[in-house]
Homo-oligomer: A and B are copies of this chain.
Amino acid sequence: MPFIPHTDYEVKEMLNAIGADNIEELFDEIPAELKISELKNIPSQLTEMEISRLMHERANQDNTPICFAGGGAYDHHIPAAVWEIATRGEFYSAYTPYQAEASQGSLQVIYEYQSMIANLTSLDASNASLYDGASALAEATLMAVRANRKSKSKRILVPRTVNPVYRKVTHTLVKNQGIKLEELNFDLQQGLIDMASLPAEPGDITAVVIPLPNYFGVLENVDELTDWAHKHGALVIAVVNPISLSILTPPGEWGEKGADIACGEGQPLGIPMSSGGPYFGFLTCKQALVRQMPGRIVGRTLDLDGKPGFTLTLQAREQHIRRSKATSNICTNQGLMVTAATIYMAIMGPDGLEKTAIASHGNNKKMLEKLTSKKSITRTFNQSFFHESVINIAADNASVLKKLAANNIVGGINLKSDYPELGDAILVCATEKRTVKEIDFFTEQLATAIAS
């Protein structure tokens, strides 16, 4: 029996000890009429050999296309050591470190992670992860509502330059708690929030969300936006790309006082794209807000002998202690991804991360130059970007992307349904992994697809 070690003899011995005639008897408290006799619509068991064959076929079917899409999931290089270590049984098959003394490995990794991500965002404290970037933004808004005691309005300003799916997810997750998400529009030339368009008298705002880079890859005026928000009594929630923070001003240093909360998608830090998950959401904040943070937090403390050790802390915020009054319902988070990200950051170091960011930025620049050398392709926005950009093409973008897919190219993200005002716009990205040859190939294929 797959994964069940019992021999017939043992089963008999065990039933004897229990005093039951057969295993079925152990289910005698279940009302008989509820029991089913068979799972009809499930295929028969496969051996590992058979499932291996099937999965190899399916993986090969999906191939490994050249990727020029970003939009929250990025094709970065991942050092081999990251996953060879993260998938070691001791990390892979451990539970949440409830028994601290038997989980010092996981706990220390999380503590190191909290240190690294706090430093990357220039904020004081981090939790141990949330599900992903989108749900992290939702949790950040809930946290801001709890933290901003002066504000009563539960109004959160969310620019349209924030990833549209993040906005949708946030809406889904917070709408039942009376929180109002209000949109800020963007400038069609610049691709960023128009400072001039901000109301002079905005009233009671609980928080303002500020992305860097924004969904279009463009760099917002984070200093001005932060100061504006603080001036009006709002907290600032930064949505940031962690790789970009090795070269861009970190949230803790935005404006006069710095952002209050930073969150985002951890995937760029050593996590494969793998169809969208598992990734992890990160969340950091100023010291004063720590007790409003959702999710697990690891602290360093001392043992009976005065020796340092690690343990889950501030658990009184969490659902297993506080139940209906918890800061969030999150329980299982994305621990293994955080382990991988920690190893990734340790191996890359500040210099490696910076080079990755610079090379990605450089590749995107090269790609833009190449692409816009074609008459049928233009750049949509005129502002500085990190490593992705919006282009407009002279053809229906949906069908062009389909044609590229047929040539094994993921040509970017179709913006039409979320930003109809942009026309046939595609969000393209080139990470450090893209070569000049690939960029040239992409350019030619794209031009051909547009023309045909």
Cα distance, A205 to B84, chains bound together (Å)? 53
Cα distance, A165 to B195, chains bound together (Å)? 79
A88 to chain B: which residues have CB within 8 Å? Answer: 88
B79 and A48 form a contact (CB under 8 A): yes
Interface residue A52 (Cβ < 8 Å from any Cβ of B): yes
B80 and A49 form a contact (CB under 8 A): no
Cα distance, A48 to B82, chains bound together (Å)? 13
Interface residue A291 (Cβ < 8 Å from any Cβ of B): no
Tell me which of B48, B79, B435 contacts A80 (CB under 8 A).
B48
Interface residue A365 (Cβ < 8 Å from any Cβ of B): no
B84 and A49 form a contact (CB under 8 A): no
Cα distance, A370 to B159, chains bound together (Å)? 68
List residues of A (401-452) whose CB comes within 8 Å of B's CBs. Answer: 432-433, 435
Number of A residues contacting the other chain (C-beta, 8 Å)?
Answer: 15
A325 to chain B: which residues have CB within 8 Å? Answer: none
Interface residue A77 (Cβ < 8 Å from any Cβ of B): yes
Interface residue A87 (Cβ < 8 Å from any Cβ of B): yes
List residues of A (3-58) whose CB comes within 8 Å of B's CBs. Answer: 48-49, 52-53, 56
Cα distance, A267 to B433, chains bound together (Å)? 37
* Closest chain B residue to A433, Cβ basis: B49
Expressed in whole angstroms, the minimum distance between the Cβ of A195 and any Cβ of chain B is 39
Cα distance, A53 to B433, chains bound together (Å)? 9
Cα distance, A56 to B87, chains bound together (Å)? 21
Cα distance, A188 to B53, chains bound together (Å)? 39
Expressed in whole angstroms, the minimum distance between the Cβ of A60 and any Cβ of chain B is 8
Cα distance, A220 to B303, chains bound together (Å)? 68
Interface string of A239-273 (1 = CB under 8 A from B): 00000000000000000000000000000000000
A432 and B49 form a contact (CB under 8 A): yes
A80 to chain B: which residues have CB within 8 Å? Answer: 48, 52
Cα distance, A64 to B52, chains bound together (Å)? 14
A87 to chain B: which residues have CB within 8 Å? Answer: 84
Cα distance, A126 to B409, chains bound together (Å)? 54
A53 to chain B: which residues have CB within 8 Å? Answer: 433, 435
Expressed in whole angstroms, the minimum distance between the Cβ of A440 and any Cβ of chain B is 16
Cα distance, A49 to B53, chains bound together (Å)? 29
* Closest chain B residue to A52, Cβ basis: B77
Tell me which of B49, B64, B77 contacts A48 (CB under 8 A).
B77
Expressed in whole angstroms, the minimum distance between the Cβ of A254 and any Cβ of chain B is 32
Cα distance, A79 to B433, chains bound together (Å)? 33
Looking at A64, A88, A432, the one whose CB has the most chain B CB atoms below 10 A away is: A88
**9 cross-chain pairs, A with B, having the tightest CB-CB distances, nearest first:** A49-B77, A48-B79, A49-B433, A88-B88, A48-B80, A52-B77, A48-B77, A49-B432, A84-B87
User: What would be 12 A-B contacts, judged by CB atoms less than 8 Å apart?
Assistant: A48-B79, A48-B80, A49-B77, A49-B432, A49-B433, A52-B77, A52-B80, A53-B433, A53-B435, A56-B64, A84-B87, A88-B88
A residues apposed to B, CB below 8 Å? 48-49, 52-53, 56, 64, 77, 79-80, 84, 87-88, 432-433, 435
